[in-house]
């Protein structure tokens, strides 16, 4: 695809449509699996610490493969990358659908991750180079509309399938769609690619895999194993050291695997920080709300999915609107309003009780989703807009990688805060309850008291985690006041600046149609 755009009367909508369908089923697959985990545990006879590898392993493969997506996008054509990604995803979906033991299911899940890890950076890069900067917000808004529809229907569809069919039907449902998309890619994607003289630095790949993989694994395991586990802090330390060495090496290489020099562009750097902070705060809702709804309130998986649907639909509906507003007024006003909404509604979730109504939860979650729709895409697009064309693959890869890391850190942080608070509250509430007991309590009375204490302690832990998350959102809100509308920066190479012709020549090599 020609990144100069000028030779095209219009963007390559056919290519974009095929890529979006592929990314959509990848997103849908992720939201489908979460509600199925208890059924998988029961059917395959595995513990929670084992089944969580379906999520942790997916995240690890993403953390390893997303950083090399910048290299792949520059080296190969959109057609070749997309077909390889969809072939891996389809193979993984088929394998997982017929898995009768957990190792086979995990292997299928890893193959799915290998395919989906590359789809999102590839699609983002195609969107960036296909639309001029003044129309990019609207284009990203439509992109957001399609991708937000996946989490809108995912939990509800998953809950319905789990209640009526075997969990394997989740994968059988995706398989024919994935195969059709793969065939569409074979027949419709015809882009060509000039031979690009790029070589993969395997030492950088090794350091990146150990660095991002170690940090993701360490933080993802902290919730179940505890921070004092050598498996947790050991992998985080090894990952951090590897990541430092990786960054230093990238700054010395002429053709880095992941170019950290993009952080000299202030709006991109600011957007990365805001996105990471917001992701950490948002994971509180994704993690804590299902625990509250299903474990404490006993709401069925189907009803739990329906609770999230209005908010997800609102995000999908608002996405093209915020995209058009971004083109007109820029990202700062949208981000400030959106983050203020996120902060207030997250604080509202810190006041949950065992009597909070189903409708109150829907309204609060939906308003919070409205705030999210005003933040994520405008903030990241504003940052990417400042980068020179040749840095688009590195910018999209960096954003996707750091969002994975922020998600893992946010999850571990919220689980730890909730668990520690629940434990301390359980002791206090238990002692208080014992003081009010008169006479010798029956075993049934003691069991009932213990259950009530544990439910109240867990609720207090969830509320406290939401309170911390609201302060995290407040940090992002403060940072959002520094967002400025940007123009695309000129390209610089090895300390010198390139001409516009050279810039276009470099950009043209990235992906040609």
Identify whether 308 is part of a domain.
yes
Tokens found for residue 242:
């590897």
249 in the same domain as 347: no
Q: Which of 238, 256, 274 is the last residue of a domain?
A: 256
Q: Which of 230, 256, 282 is the last residue of a domain?
A: 256
392 in the same domain as 408: yes
321 in the same domain as 375: yes
312 in the same domain as 410: yes
Using an 8 Å Cβ cutoff, are 335 and 378 in contact? yes
Angle between helices 136-164 and 301-329 (to 10 degrees): 180
420 in the same domain as 475: yes
Identify whether 237 is part of a domain.
yes
Count: domains in the chain: 2
Q: Tell me the per-residue pLDDT of 118-131, one tens digit each, with 9 for 90 and over.
A: 887 888 778 777 77
Q: Are strands 492-493 and 496-497 parallel, antiparallel or unpaired?
A: antiparallel
Phi, psi dihedrals of residue 399, rounded to the nearest 5°: -60, -45
Contacts of 84 (CB under 8 A, 6+ apart): 115, 118
- Rounded to an integer, what is the distance from CA 386 to the centroid of its chain? 23
Q: Which residues pair with 496 in a beta bridge?
A: 493
Dihedral sign for Cα atoms in the order 153, 477, 129, 323 = positive
Three-state DSSP state, 180: helix
Q: Tell me the per-residue pLDDT of 319-362, one tens digit each, with 9 for 90 and over.
A: 888 888 888 888 899 999 999 999 999 999 999 988 889 899 99
Identify whether 364 is part of a domain.
yes
Rg from Cα positions in the chain: 24
Model confidence, pTM: 0.76
Identify whether 27 is part of a domain.
yes
163 in the same domain as 248: no
230 in the same domain as 159: no
Identify whether 506 is part of a domain.
yes
Tokens found for residue 415:
């689980």
Three-state DSSP state, 493: strand
Q: Tell me the per-residue pLDDT of 410-469, one tens digit each, with 9 for 90 and over.
A: 877 887 788 888 888 888 887 777 776 666 667 777 777 788 888 888 899 989 989 999
Q: What's the pLDDT band for 16 if we cut at 50, 70, 90?
A: confident
Torsion of CA 78, 84, 89, 90, to 10 degrees: 110
CA distance 131 to 194: 21
234 in the same domain as 89: no
Q: What is the span of the domain harbouring residue 210?
A: 201-256
Q: What is the mean pLDDT of the chain?
A: 81
pLDDT at 464: 92
Using an 8 Å Cβ cutoff, are 224 and 48 in contact? yes
CA distance 476 to 482: 10
Contacts of 458 (CB under 8 A, 6+ apart): 291, 295, 296, 418, 422
Q: Which of 357, 350, 420, 378 is nearest to 275 (CA)?
A: 378
Output the furthest CA–CA distance in the chain (Å, rounded): 89
Q: What's the pLDDT band for 493 if we cut at 50, 70, 90?
A: very low
Identify whether 94 is part of a domain.
yes
299 in the same domain as 240: no
Q: Which of 137, 147, 149 is nearest to 321 (CA)?
A: 137
If one counts every other C-beta atom within 10 angstroms of the C-beta of residue 207, the result is 23
389 in the same domain as 466: yes
407 in the same domain as 308: yes
Three-state DSSP state, 492: strand
503 in the same domain as 467: yes
CA distance 85 to 112: 9
CATH code assigned at 272: 1.20.1250.20
Identify whether 442 is part of a domain.
no
Angle between helices 13-34 and 78-97 (to 10 degrees): 30
Q: Which of 323, 423, 302, 372 is nearest to 39 (CA)?
A: 302
Using an 8 Å Cβ cutoff, are 147 and 29 in contact? no
If one counts every other C-beta atom within 10 angstroms of the C-beta of residue 41, the result is 16
Q: Tell me the per-residue pLDDT of 256-274, one tens digit each, with 9 for 90 and over.
A: 888 888 999 999 999 999 9
């Amino acid at each position: 695809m020609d990144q100069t755009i000028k030779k095209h009367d219009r963007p390559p909508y056919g290519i974009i449509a095929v890529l979006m369908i592929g990314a959509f089923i990848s997103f849908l697959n992720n939201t489908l699996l979460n509600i199925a985990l208890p059924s998988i545990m029961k059917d395959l006879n595995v513990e929670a610490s084992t089944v969580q590898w379906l999520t942790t392993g997916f995240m690890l493969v993403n953390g390893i493969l997303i950083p090399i997506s910048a290299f792949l996008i520059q080296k190969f054509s959109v057609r070749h990358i997309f077909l390889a990604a969809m072939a891996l995803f389809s193979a993984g979906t088929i394998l997982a659908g017929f898995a009768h033991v957990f190792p086979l299911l995990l292997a299928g899940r890893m193959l799915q991750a290998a395919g989906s890890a590359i789809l999102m950076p590839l699609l983002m890069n195609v969107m960036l180079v296909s639309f001029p900067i003044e129309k990019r917000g609207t284009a990203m808004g439509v992109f957001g509309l399609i991708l937000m529809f996946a989490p809108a229907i995912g939990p509800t569809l998953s809950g319905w399938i789990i209640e009526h069919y075997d969990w394997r039907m989740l994968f059988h449902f995706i398989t024919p769609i994935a195969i059709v998309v793969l065939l569409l890619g074979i027949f419709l994607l015809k882009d060509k690619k000039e031979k690009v003289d790029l070589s993969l630095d395997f030492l950088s790949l090794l350091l990146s895999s150990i660095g991002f993989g170690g940090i993701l694994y360490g933080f993802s395991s902290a919730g179940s194993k505890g921070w004092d586990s050598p498996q947790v802090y050991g992998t985080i330390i090894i990952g951090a050291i590897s990541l430092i060495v990786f960054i230093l090496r990238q700054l010395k290489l002429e053709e880095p695997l992941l170019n950290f020099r993009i952080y000299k562009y202030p709006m991109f750097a600011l957007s990365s920080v805001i996105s990471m902070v917001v992701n950490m705060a948002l994971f509180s809702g994704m993690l804590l709300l299902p625990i509250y709804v299903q474990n404490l309130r006993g709401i069925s998986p189907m009803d739990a999915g329906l609770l999230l649907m209005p908010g997800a639909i609102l995000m999908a509906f608002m996405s093209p609107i915020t995209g058009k507003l971004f083109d007109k007024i820029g990202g700062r006003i949208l981000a400030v309003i959106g983050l203020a909404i996120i902060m207030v509604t997250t604080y509202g979730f810190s006041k949950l009780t065992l009597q909070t109504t189903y409708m109150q939860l829907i309204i609060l979650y939906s308003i919070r989703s409205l705030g999210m729709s005003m933040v994520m895409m405008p903030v990241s697009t504003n940052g990417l807009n400042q980068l020179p064309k040749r840095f688009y693959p590195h910018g999209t890869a960096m954003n996707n990688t750091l969002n994975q890391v922020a998600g893992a850190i946010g999850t571990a942080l919220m689980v730890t805060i909730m668990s520690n608070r629940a434990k301390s509250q359980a002791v206090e509430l238990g002692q208080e309850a014992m003081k009010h007991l008169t006479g010798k309590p029956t075993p049934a009375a003691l069991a009932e008291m213990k259950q009530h204490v544990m439910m109240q302690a867990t609720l207090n832990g969830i509320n406290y985690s939401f309170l911390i998350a609201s302060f995290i959102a407040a940090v992002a809100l403060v940072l959002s006041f520094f967002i400025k509308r940007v123009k695309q920066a000129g390209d610089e190479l090895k300390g010198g600046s390139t001409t516009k012709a050279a810039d276009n020549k470099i950009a043209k090599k990235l992906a040609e149609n």
